[in-house]
Structure 1
Amino acid sequence: MVNNSNKKFPKEMFQKAQYDESLAEKIEKPSLSFWQDAWLRVRKNKAAIVSLVILTLLFIMALIGPYLSGHPTGQNVAHSNLPPKIEAISDVSWLPFDGTLTNRNGVTLTPYEDRQIEESYWFGTDSLGRDLFTRLWEGVRISLLIAFLATAIDMVIGVSYGAISGYFGGRVDNIMQRIIEILSGIPNLVIVILLILVLEPGILSITLALAITGWVTMARVVRGQVLKLKNQEFALASKTLGARDFRIIYKHLLPNLVGVIIINTMFTIPNAIFFEAFLSFIGLGLQPPDASLGTLIEDGFKVILLYPYMLLVPAVVISLLMITFNLLADGLRDAFDPKMRD
C-alpha cells in the first residue's frame, strides 16, 4: 500500500528557490599568481622563515658590522690576544664575554686588568691586536661577495648553455654535452692551482676557479627542463607564428624555469662559501692581511688550544650561513614544486 502522507503538507509551505545570476561567476577562493602562491607556502615553512631572518641579519651585519665596534682595522700589538669582553654582560658568569681567559692549567687570566686596557673588544683580538669583531664582518662581506659573484656567473653561463643545448638538440646537444663531461672530470682543486700559478691568489682567481666548472650542474638541470617544455603547445604555437629560436628560448621557455633556476642558485651559494673558506684555509685563497671566513678560521686553528675564541666565532658564523642557505633552499624547492600545493 502506497504511503500518501506527503499530501498532508500544503503548498504554501514550499517556496521556489531563487537563482541569482550574479553569483554564477563568484570565486570562493581568491585568485593567486604563481609568486603569491609560492610565498604563501614559504610562509608555512617555519625553518625557511627563520633562516630568511637570520640571513637578513647576517647581510646587514656584513654591511654595517665593521663600523660598529669603533676600533680601527689596523694592528695594535699592545692589545694582542685579548679575550672577548662586552661591558653590558660582563657580570654574567656563564657567558664568555667577561674579558677573562682560562689557560691549560686552569688558571684564570685577566689580560685587560694586567695591561690596564680600558677598551673592550667584543670578540677579542688576534695576535697582531686587530679587532676580531671588525675582521669577522669584513670576512663575511668578502666571502659573500665571492660566493654571489661566482653564483651569478654560474647562473648566466649555465642557463644559457643548458637552454641552447636542450632546445636545438641533435648534433649541437651531443657536442655541448661532451664538453660538459670533460669539464666535470677535472677536479676543482686542480683548476684552482693552475689559476694561482697564472694569477695572484685573491678574489679574482677564486671567483674564476668557482665559475669555470660551477655552471655545469645548472646547465644540466636547465637542459633537462627545456627538453620537457620545448614540445609543449605554447612553444610550438610561438614557433608556428614565426618566432625565432632565441626568442622562444628567452621569452617563453626560461620564464617557466624561474623556480628551478632560483632553487639551484640557492644551493650553489653555500657550496661557493664553503669552497672559498676551504681554499683560504689551506693557503690557496685570500692572503693576509685580507680577511675572509676561511682565513679567520685558519688563524684560529693555529692557536685553538690557547685562544679558542678565535676559531669559535668564525666557525659559528660560517655554520649559520651554510645551514640557513640550505634550509631556505629546501623551503623554496617545496614552494615552487606544483606537487606540494594544498
Structure 2
Amino acid sequence: MANHSDKRFPKAMFEPAQVDEKLAEKIEKPSLNFWQDAFLRVRKNKAAIISFIILMLLVIVTFVGPYINGYDSETQNAAHSNLPPRIDAVADVSWLPFDGTWENRSGEKLYPYEERGIEESYWFGTDKFGRDLFTRLWEGVQISLLIAVLATAIDMIIGVSYGAISGYFGGRVDNIMQRIIEILTGIPNLVIVILLILVLEPGILSITLALAITGWTTMARVVRGQVLKLKNQEFALASKTLGATDFRIIFKHLMPNMVGVIIINTMFTIPNAIFFEAFLSFIGLGLQPPDASLGTLIEDGFKVMLLYPSQLIIPSIVISILMITFNLMADGLRDAFDPKMRD
C-alpha cells in the first residue's frame, strides 16, 4: 500500500514553497478613496449608466430643440391647427407614426397636409392654435426642469441646514424643531398651492414656493438621523476637544460624511418635483397659457386624445422617460454610496 502511494504522490510534490518576504505586505487591490470607489460601483450598474446617457441627451435636446426646426412656440396659425406629426426623412417608414396622416374612428386614413395644401412639416404636429408642438414640448421641458431644480436646490439648502442643526444640538432645540416639521408635514401641498395662488399669480414662482415650503422636511429628517449617528464618533469629539466651533464641526466635519445621502435624496426629489409640477398644471393650478410645461401640454392633449392622440402621447412619453431615468440613476447612486454594497 505504501509503495502504491509513493507512485501516485512523488516526493517532489511535497517540497516546501519558496516565500518572498518582500511580497508579504504587498497590497493587491489599489487603494481607493470614497469617490473613486463609488464611481467604480456606479460604472458597474448598467441601468444607471444608460439612464445617465439618456438624460444627458434629453437635456441637450431640451436646450437645442426649440431652435432646430425654425418655428416659434407662440406663433398661431389657424390654417395649420391640429396637424399630425410629419418628418419627411422617415415619412415612408410604415411603422413610424410620422407620415403626416390621421386615422378617424372608422379606420379611414386622412391626409390633412395634402388636403390643406401645406408644404411645411411639423415634426410633432401642431395644437388647436396651429402652434408647433416640437418647439413647445422642449420649451415646456425647460420650464419643468427649471422648477424642479430650483425647488430641489431650496429643499437641499434648507433641509440640510435645518436637519443638521436639529440633530447636532439635540435636546429641547431638537424637540421644538421636530414639532415644527410635523406641523408643516401635516399641511397638504394643495392647500399651500391654493393659498399661494390667491396671493401670487399662477406661475413659476408660486409653484416653486409651494414645492419648497414643505418639500425640505424629508431632507431635514434624513440629515438629522445621520447627524445623530455621527456627532458622537471619535473624529467629531476630537474636533470639539481641539476647540472647533459647532458651526465648523457641522459643516466641515459632519457634512462631508453625509454627501452620499444628500445626493441620493436630491436625485429622488427632482422627479417628484417634475411630477408635482405636471400635476398642478394638469388640474389648472400651475402655469397658465400661453406658457408651456409638460403638465400643460399633457392637459391640452388629454382634451383631444380621442381625435389627436399624439398630442397626449408625445409629452407623456417624455415625462415618463424623465421620471424613469432620474429614479434609476438615484437607485444606482444609492447602491454606490452604500458601504454595505461594496465588493
- Same-fold status (TM-score > 0.5): yes
Whole-angstrom distance in 1 between the partners of 2:72 and 2:51 = 31
Match of 1:103 in 2: 104
Distance 1:15 1:42, change over 3 A: closer
Match of 1:177 in 2: 178
Tell me if 1:305 matches 2:334.
no
Match of 1:36 in 2: 36
Match of 2:50 in 1: 50
Matched ranges for 1:138-287 at <5 A: 138-287=139-288
1:19 Cα offset (Å)? 4.1
Whole-angstrom distance in 2 between the partners of 1:255 and 1:296 = 41
Letter in 2 for 1:273: I
Tell me if 1:133 matches 2:134.
yes
Matched ranges for 1:71-90 at <5 A: 71-73=71-73, 74-90=75-91
Distance 1:261 1:15, change over 3 A: closer
1:42 Cα offset (Å)? 0.9
| 2:149 counterpart SS class | helix
Whole-angstrom distance in 1 between the partners of 2:61 and 2:17 = 68
Distance 1:15 1:330, change over 3 A: closer
1:26 Cα offset (Å)? 2.7
Aligned pairs, number: 333
Whole-angstrom distance in 2 between the partners of 1:247 and 1:205 = 35
TM-score (norm 1): 0.94
Whole-angstrom distance in 2 between the partners of 1:16 and 1:292 = 72
Distance 1:16 1:120, change over 3 A: closer
Whole-angstrom distance in 1 between the partners of 2:245 and 2:165 = 13
Whole-angstrom distance in 1 between the partners of 2:291 and 2:149 = 18
Q: Which runs of 5+ in 1 are unaligned?
A: 6-13
Runs of 4+ aligned residues of structure 1 deviating over 3 Å after TM superposition are: 14-21
1:302 Cα offset (Å)? 0.5
The C-alpha deviation readout for 1:119-177, integer Å capped at 9, x for no partner, is: 11110000111110000000001000000000000000000000000000000000000
Whole-angstrom distance in 2 between the partners of 1:25 and 1:149 = 51
| 2:160 counterpart SS class | helix
1:17 Cα offset (Å)? 4.4
Identical positions, percent: 82
Whole-angstrom distance in 2 between the partners of 1:49 and 1:34 = 19
- Select between 98-107 and 124-133 the one with higher mean Cα deviation: 98-107
Match of 1:331 in 2: 332
Whole-angstrom distance in 1 between the partners of 2:136 and 2:337 = 38
| 1:127 counterpart SS class | coil
Tell me if 1:64 matches 2:64.
yes
1:62 Cα offset (Å)? 1.0
| 1:54 counterpart SS class | helix
The C-alpha deviation readout for 1:222-259, integer Å capped at 9, x for no partner, is: 00000000000000000000000010000000100000
Whole-angstrom distance in 2 between the partners of 1:267 and 1:111 = 43
Q: Which runs of 5+ in 2 are unaligned?
A: 1-5, 7-14
Whole-angstrom distance in 1 between the partners of 2:49 and 2:154 = 27
